[in-house]
Amino acid sequence: MNKKKLVLIGNGMAGMNTVEKVVEADPDAFEITVFGKENHPNYNRIMLSSILQGNTKFEDISIHSHSWYDDNNVRLHTGEEVVTIDKENKKVVTDKGREVFYDKLIIATGSNPFILPVPGTEKEEVLPFRTLEHCRYMIESAGRFKKAVVIGGGLLGLEAARGLLNLGLEVDVVHLGKHLMDRQLDETGARLLQKDLEEQGMNFLLEKKTSKITGNDKVEHVHFSDGTRVETDMVVMSVGVSPNIGVAEENGIETSRGILVNDKMETKVKDIFAVGECAEHEGITYGLVSPLYEQADVLAEQLTGNGGSVYNGSLLYTQLKISGIDVFLAGNLQESEKTDTVQLYDAINRVYKKLIIADDVIQGAVLYGDVKQQTKVLSFISNQKIISEKEMQGIVFAGEEENIVQSLSPHAHICQCNSVSKEEIICSVNENNLKTTEEIKEQTKASSSCGGCKPMVAELLAYINSDDFNEYTKKQSLCACTNKTEEEIVEDIQLRQLKTSREVREEPGWTNREGCEICLPALRYYTNIIFMEEQAENFLSAAVIEEEEGTCALTLQTEGGEVTPDLLNKASAAAEKFGIPSMQLTPGQRLRFSGVKKEMAADLVREFNMDFLPADYYTLEPVQTLPSRGSVKDNRSAVLQVAASLEKQLLYVPTPWFVKLRIGASAEEISEVKRSAVGLMQVEKGWEMYIDGELLCTAQTEETVIRQFRVLFQYYRESAKFREEITAWATRVSFIHIREVLFDIEVSDILSERLTKEAGQRDKWTAAVV
């Protein structure tokens, strides 16, 4: 098989993260060539400040060694820059004259540091803080320099200044604004930060505009527009970056601030993609590692054809990496008339917390001095979860005695950059007997990017090793009948085309081929979902649950859960006629016949001419519409129409677990709607959809909200584990991802079509028997 050719321009974190995911997903898909401007394999640029501060060694920030490229058949050209993209002939040309053809091309050229356009910046001692070479120069020069000036009081400038202090230099930080980190911190937080940094030895020159840099053979002074100046031996520029779009711009690929890309990371040119700091999506360029890795996930899936994920932007958050100072910033920090602010300011202990809230949802947060609640904060912001008064108080006024990692849910992300959950770390520690945070990083990649989560990883490890730990999340088999996990069984069904429960149980790895009450319904569900049409042709094989040899159970669907005297009389007569020993009313308001002789099952179905469901069959439960209240009685017809439409379409479609839906239309009903697993609320401007009390999305019309619920319903069916409640599933996959699915027209169309097709199979099931 001839492999397609994939070329990557840029050997940085975003591009190589994409390549790594492509190789993992399909190692034989591409012949891969990578061009890097620097003379090194891929390394973690985010950790340069940690090297400068003495917390990390150069060798520790390597992501992919030379051997990794060789082992994965990735051809790497370091110290070589692509200058020409020949779009017609689909080839690139480098500054060394090398020509390489491509089928798919990724541009991941990152950003260029901004150098102030003032006299004197050409001197050797004036440099940005961007690469390994810059970092090495600062370390090697520390012995012969006494003083350094860092221009820029933002995140990276302060981290560089802290490193230079550690190297034994005097450091002045020059900043144009009135206070430090003025793009992220308000004056209160910045004042605390400045005080802490001054105690560490930094000196600050605020509201200073650099006019020139002077010196004879080397840098001697930095001059300001107010006529003052300071002595220095070195100047570090940290006043921002700009996307490196030169190669795209010069070769006719459309750009603005960055290289323009769509939700699939495609540029305006066919088969050319952009990812990372050089890419501009919906008017935004990103410089933080988590968004770049999220883009890489999407692009890798597009290249390998392993999914329909799209990129819909990222939640911005950041953390200052200076030993002894904890600063965490997340979300939209702009305040307005529509926002409320909750603050805690403790000047003695130097703790400052601020939550910016709109419509009971956190939109932005500042944590200074105590950042233990950062994972919870991110969860609230990313899921747009309505925050209660108690939860708000817990974040703002949490005491030191609270064990944060212990209170986190298993699915909460400890490492946001690499999407590593608490559950994954616990599982890895237990299975691999991990003893240190470095071992956890090696196994799970947690803390391997920005390093901001390392204290949380350490805290989790300490918790795992403590007497209080009781969250064992070992990799578990589906049941005692097999040593395979649920995920492995589903993969077997798909890859080996196993269309019945019996076929699955005949595969290797099953110690009890007869199955049990745990695995039998799960296998029936998965084979039904995966091979819908084949299963639908035989009603009885899908509808009966085997009991003792020769008998089965069948469950009769009741309308709205109502069991009438007529139905009971008819059921009693049928039981006597067919020799059925037992009937039960199930918790799901259905009537179950147990001990039915298998040869009588078809006759029982004909007797009732009604829908039967298996005893272990989970579905959308009868929709609950709340009683009319106040002035909304006129709106009740719309509520009933939506309920009737959804029941008619979905009531008999199998689901991983029962789905409970409530629909309301007045302010008095909102609390009841939010108490349901899924709730629909008719409001003045349309409809709102909630999962477990959290707002998922809105719709303007009945037609749209029905469509949204159908897509949600089908996506839950296809991606949830058997017997996983819809609320737990939504937490696991995240509200952000579910919204991406709901609002991706192409993906939602596919899901809706699949649901329509499967819902229509019910007639075939009945016809096969009646």
In this predicted structure, what is the pLDDT of residue 113?
93
Q: What are phi and psi of 82, to 5 degrees?
A: -75, 130
Is 75 within 8 Å of 32 (Cβ atoms)?
A: yes
User: Is 126-239 CATH 3.60.150.10?
Assistant: no
Is 373 within 8 Å of 387 (Cβ atoms)?
A: no
Residue ranges of domains in the chain: 4-111+243-304, 126-239, 531-613, 624-763
| CB-CB neighbours of 139 under 10 Å | 17
Options 3.40.50.12780, 1.10.287.610, 3.90.1150.10, 3.30.413.10; which CATH number does 624-763 get? 3.30.413.10
CATH code for the structural domain at 4-111+243-304: 3.50.50.60
Q: What are phi and psi of 367, to 5 degrees?
A: -120, 120
| CA distance to 125, 160, 195, 307, 761, per residue, from 494 (Å) | 61, 52, 60, 15, 21
Sites in the chain below the pLDDT cut of 70:
1, 306-308, 383, 398-404, 407, 409, 411, 472-476, 495, 532-549, 557-563, 586-590, 609-617, 627-635, 760-770
Residues 6+ apart with CB under 8 A from 216: none
| CB-CB neighbours of 435 under 10 Å | 11
Give the integer Cα–Cα distance in Å for 277 and 248.
13
Domains 4-111+243-304 and 531-613 share a fold: no
Give the integer Cα–Cα distance in Å for 81 and 93.
9
Give the integer Cα–Cα distance in Å for 31 and 179.
50
Burial status of residue 395 (CB atoms within 10 A of its CB: 0-12, 13-18, 19 or more): buried
3-state secondary structure of 633: helix
Give the integer Cα–Cα distance in Å for 710 and 689.
12
Whether the pTM exceeds 0.85: the reply is: no
Options 3.40.50.2300, 3.90.480.10, 3.30.9.10, 3.30.870.10; which CATH number does 531-613 get? 3.90.480.10
Is 334 within 8 Å of 364 (Cβ atoms)?
A: yes
Question: Average pLDDT over the chain, rounded to whole?
Answer: 85
Which tokens go with 627?
Answer: 């009683």
